[in-house]
Chains A and B, each alone.
Chain A
C-alpha cells in the first residue's frame, strides 16, 4: 500500500522564523511529488518535484526531493502570518509517462501556525 508521511503534524513558530516541513513516502511507480498549501476550501498548488537534488524556489518557499532516501522538504524562510495554513504533500504514481497519474496519495498535512 502506498504511504506518505508528513512531519511534524503541527508546528507553531514566530513571525520571521524559518521552518522546514518533511514528507517521506513509500510508493510503487513514483512519478512526482507535489506540495500544496491549504487555507480555504481548495488546496493551492506550490511545487511539483520529479528529479532528485534540484531545488525549486518560489519567493520565500523552496523544496527539494531526494529519490534515494524517499523524502522531500519544504522550506519557508522569514515566515509571515499569511503562511499559516495546512501544507499537504502528495505523491503521484503511475506506470506510463505522458498523460495523468494512476494514483495520488496524500499525507495528513502539517498544520503550520505563525504567531505575530
Chain B
C-alpha cells in the first residue's frame, strides 16, 4: 500500500516565523504535490514537482516555496508565515512520469499561524 506521510498533524507558529512542512512517500513516485484545503474553497494546488530538483507553480504559490532534493521527499516552506496561511496542508504523490490524476494523499497538517 502506498504511504504518504507528513511530518506533523498539528502545528502552531507565530507570524513571521519560517515554517517547514515535510512530506515523504515510500513508493518511488515521480510526482509530488502540495495543496491547501480551506472551508468552502476545496483543494487548491500550491506547488508540484515531477522530478528531483524540479518544481512548478500551482494556482496559489505566493508566500510559499518548495524543495525536492530527494525523490521521496517534498518540502513546503513558508518563508514568513502569515495568519492567512492558517489552513490544512495536504501532500500527495502520483506514480506516472507524466502528470497523473491517480494521486495518493497524506493525512494533512493543520497549521495555525497566530
Give every chain A residue within 8 A of B45 (Cβ-Cβ): 41-42
A100-B38, A100-B88 known; A40+B99 contact, CB < 8 A: yes
Return the chain B residue nearest A104 by Cβ: B108
A41-B48, A42-B43, A42-B59 known; A104+B88 contact, CB < 8 A: yes
Complex Cα spacing A100 to B84, Å = 12
A42-B35, A42-B44, A86-B101 known; A104+B90 contact, CB < 8 A: yes
Interface residue B61 (Cβ < 8 Å from any Cβ of A): no
Give every chain B residue within 8 A of A100 (Cβ-Cβ): 37-39, 86-88, 110
Q: Total interface residues on A, using CB and 8 Å?
A: 25
Interface residue A39 (Cβ < 8 Å from any Cβ of B): yes
Query: Is B37's CB under 8 angstroms from A41's CB?
Result: no
Complex Cα spacing A21 to B61, Å = 33
Interface residue B95 (Cβ < 8 Å from any Cβ of A): no
Query: Is B101's CB under 8 angstroms from A36's CB?
Result: no
Q: For the complex formed, measure the closest distance between the CB of A42 and the CB atoms of chain B, giving whole angstroms.
A: 4
Interface residue B102 (Cβ < 8 Å from any Cβ of A): yes
Interface residue B14 (Cβ < 8 Å from any Cβ of A): no
- Render A91-116 as a binary contact track against B, CB cut-off 8 A, 1 for contact: 00000000111111110110100000
Interface residues of A (CB under 8 A from B): 34, 36, 38-45, 48, 85-86, 90, 99-106, 108-109, 111
18 contacts between A and B (CB under 8 A): A38-B101, A38-B103, A41-B99, A42-B45, A43-B43, A100-B37, A100-B39, A100-B86, A100-B110, A101-B39, A101-B110, A103-B9, A103-B107, A103-B110, A104-B105, A104-B108, A106-B105, A108-B104
